[in-house]
């Protein structure tokens, strides 16, 4: 299929291969085609076809079709998960996403294709027998419980604090396991919250209060090496499969996996988490207000100037430098050295914010 897409992405790749061949055949058995397809994992299962049938009957929701969600969804679809929901309200793929968000090909960047739809099309080609449900609406306190109610396990592949709190609280109220992953620069983290439900550690047990918004670094600001979210996202898929197969003792519940790509002697470490002790969650709240930040991984906009008249745009500065060369001004570049090496103004003075933090005491 593919005829070079558009035409509404070829009717969303023929309704994602006719809705997974109309429901992935019978949910009561594993047919001969499936036995052949999944034979290499079948031979390691304790219960053979029963375990594969458990995977086939499972319903998993991934929130985020980015660096974590792409590899996680690939391996879950490859393993034969019956229904996979992919929620991402990012309606356009950026070129800067492509090095790590491996489900999105180059020609879909800047094409007004949503990440959820793009991921669904790519996954439908990988395994046409899976029911894949792209969800392009934003996850909110109003719809989270309804959306999550359709699934058995939720994977948090988001990249913002507000969504993490929302997913945690919604999964606690819904009594669903939450497989959480994060990745930044050369490091990643993985854990499973609320597993078993009502017993396992939750996100609020570790972080009862959100961090100040200006202290939170995302991939846009801090950067990330593509394979790092690939590692963590793949492990998120593995945790989901272990939950489905009933491998309770091996699940990362009550402990957290820390990954450091630059530490060859100890790339993977496990730390024990404090037991569950968070106050009972009674309802979902306004998480953007609670966290003081938007439920998005886009760059955080901070207003640091007392008056808007003190601000100058890039185009205005360019005009000033070209047409009024005698005007006296100083340009201080507070970006990191690595960012300055990519592009910088020759007339600027480098003074990274990190140096200010180290050299000055603002107390």
pTM (2 decimals)? 0.81
Tokens of 266: 């100890």
For 243-271, write each residue's pLDDT tens digit: 999 999 999 999 999 999 999 999 999 99
Say how many C-beta atoms besides its own lie within 10 A of residue 10's C-beta: 15
**Cβ(258)–Cβ(189) under 8 Å?**
yes
- What is the sign of the dihedral through the CA atoms of 234, 15, 95 and 159? negative
The answer on pLDDT for 3 being more than 60 is no
**Cβ(60)–Cβ(254) under 8 Å?**
no
The Cα 73–Cα 327 span in angstroms is 56
Rounded average pLDDT over 291-296 = 78
For 49-103, write each residue's pLDDT tens digit: 999 999 999 999 999 999 999 999 999 999 999 999 999 999 999 999 999 999 9
The answer on pLDDT for 111 being more than 80 is yes
Residue-level pLDDT at 297:
56
The Cα 125–Cα 130 span in angstroms is 10
Residue-level pLDDT at 162:
96
Greatest mean pLDDT among 24-28, 117-121, 289-293 lies in 117-121
For 340-361, write each residue's pLDDT tens digit: 777 777 778 888 776 765 554 4
Which residue ranges form the domains of the chain, and what is each CATH number? 7-291 (3.40.50.720), 308-359 (no CATH)
**Cβ(256)–Cβ(270) under 8 Å?**
yes
Residue-level pLDDT at 363:
38
The answer on pLDDT for 12 being more than 90 is no
């Amino acid at each position: 299929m593919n005829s070079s897409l558009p035409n509404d992405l070829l009717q969303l790749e023929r309704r994602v291969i006719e809705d997974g061949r109309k429901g992935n055949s019978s949910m009561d058995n594993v047919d001969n085609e499936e036995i052949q397809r999944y034979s290499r994992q079948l031979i390691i299962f304790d219960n053979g076809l029963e375990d594969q049938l458990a995977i086939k009957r499972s319903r998993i929701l991934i929130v985020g079709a980015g660096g974590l969600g792409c590899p996680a969804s690939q391996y879950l679809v490859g393993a034969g998960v019956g229904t996979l929901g992919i929620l991402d309200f990012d309606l356009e793929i950026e070129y800067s996403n492509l090095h790590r968000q491996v489900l999105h090909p180059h020609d879909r960047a800047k094409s007004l294709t949503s990440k959820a739809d793009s991921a669904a099309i790519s996954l439908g080609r990988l395994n046409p027998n899976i029911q894949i449900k792209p969800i392009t609406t934003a996850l909110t306190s109003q719809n989270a419980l309804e959306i999550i109610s359709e699934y058995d396990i939720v994977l948090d592949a988001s990249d913002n604090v507000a969504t993490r709190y929302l997913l945690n609280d919604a999964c606690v109220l819904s009594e669903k396991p939450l497989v959480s992953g994060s990745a930044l620069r050369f490091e990643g983290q993985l854990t499973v919250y609320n597993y078993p439900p009502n017993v396992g550690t939750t996100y609020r047990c570790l972080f009862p209060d959100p961090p100040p918004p200006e202290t939170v670094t995302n991939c846009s600001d801090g950067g990330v090496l593509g394979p790092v979210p690939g590692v963590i996202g793949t492990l998120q898929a593995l945790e989901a499969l272990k939950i489905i197969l009933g491998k309770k003792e091996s699940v990362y519940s009550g402990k957290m996996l820390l990954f450091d790509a630059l530490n060859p002697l100890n790339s993977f470490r496990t730390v024990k988490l404090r037991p569950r002790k968070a106050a009972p969650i009674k309802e979902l709240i306004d998480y953007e207000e609670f966290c003081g930040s938007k439920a998005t991984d886009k760059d955080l906009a901070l207003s640091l100037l007392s008056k808007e008249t003190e601000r100058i745009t890039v185009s205005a500065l360019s005009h000033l430098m070209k047409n009024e060369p005698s005007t006296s001004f100083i340009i201080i570049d507070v970006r990191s050295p690595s960012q300055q090496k990519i592009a910088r103004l020759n007339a600027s003075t480098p003074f990274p914010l990190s140096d200010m933090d180290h050299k000055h005491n603002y107390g």
